[in-house]
Amino acid sequence: MSLMSHDPTKAVLIVNGAKADADAAAALHERVAHAFAEAGWPKPDLAMTTPDDPGTGPARAAVRAGAGLVVACGGDGTVNAVAEALAGTGVVLGVLPLGTGNLLAGHLGVPDSLDEAVALLTGGTDRRLDLGSTGERVFVGMAGLGLDAAMIADSSEQLKARIGWLAYVPSIARHLRDRGRRVSLRVDGRRVRHSGVKALIVGNFGRLHGGIDLMPDAAPDDGLLDVVVLEPSGRLSGWAAVLVRLLTRRDGQNISRYQGRRIEVRTRRPVPLELDGDAYRTANTLSVQVEPGALTVRAPAREPSGRPAEGE
């Protein structure tokens, strides 16, 4: 927990250096500075991520320097790295959604328009959200194994830069035929077994790209993590049936759901794991727990459930 004083108008922009060169970052910096000046705020500082530091280091430096607002300018990976540094400090996370995946921004209702998203930084409402934690890393949105983790590990960075989240489609197609795995799952100490798991997601919120509400009961401020286990029978036809059930919110025997504060997953063999849309590691265990209210975010006015307030 940070005990030093933080100036709420002192801001630092952390730009994903893999998506923006120095000129693009400078142009974004000036655009934000102009909007801040109109709101009576001082010019924000600028930092860039590097291949060795996706944003956690600059965010920690911003906290030490007394910043009250640290803005992740990128996708979910940049948001994750910045959130790692801000967890438990009370320093506010702002988001300019400029990445391949922008799930947190979409969930919060951050506008797609850059100018509107920038205006939100000085005029939004602060919300406290839960985080998931592995003990060494946090996640803001989701952690998982199976199809999603394999898709992420096998996707092309060049294609992602060109066409965004659609770059995952070829990787998904390659892994739809992967075999199911035996998984032992503990939810707050209660053990259950699944024998044909093709995807297991632990989530803080549940809406994916394309409007798929993977975990409709998930709320990022309820002190709980949601789990969905997908066990499609057969190959492609089984996935099609699961997709229809997800889209129509009609669960069947191939979809299992749980909620809890501590989730432990074990597989027989090591499998790829992902956190917030980035490859995490390959292992046969994943243990996570909720950190209630650990992250403060700048967002449009929302109800605590995450739904738009009346009149929006």
Q: What are the tens digits of pLDDT across the range 53-111?
A: 999 999 999 999 999 999 999 999 999 999 999 999 999 999 999 988 799 999 999 99
3-state secondary structure the chain: CCCCCCEEEEEEEEECCCCCCHHHHHHHHHHHHHHHHHCCCCCCEEEECECCECCHHHHHHHHHCCEEEEEEEECHHHHHHHHHHHCCCCCEEEEEECCCCCHHHHHHCCCCCHHHHHHHHHHCEEEEEEEEECCCCEECCEEEEEHHHHHHHCCCHHHHHHHHHHHHHHHHHHHCCCCCEEEEEEECCEEEEEEEECEEEEECCCECHHHCECCCCCCCCCCCEEEEEECCCCCHHHHHHHHHHHHHCCCCCCEEEEEECEEEEEEEEEEEEEECCEEEEEEEEEEEEEEEEEEEEEECCECCCCCECCCC
pLDDT (0 to 100) of residue 302: 60
pLDDT (0 to 100) of residue 81: 98
* Domains of the chain: residue spans and CATH: 7-123 (3.40.50.10330), 138-293 (2.60.200.40)
Q: What are the tens digits of pLDDT across the range 160-214?
A: 666 666 667 777 777 777 888 999 999 999 999 999 999 999 999 988 876 788 9
pLDDT (0 to 100) of residue 312: 37
Q: What are the tens digits of pLDDT across the range 227-277?
A: 999 999 877 778 888 888 887 787 877 999 999 999 999 999 999 999 998
Q: What are the tens digits of pLDDT across the range 298-310?
A: 999 864 444 444 3
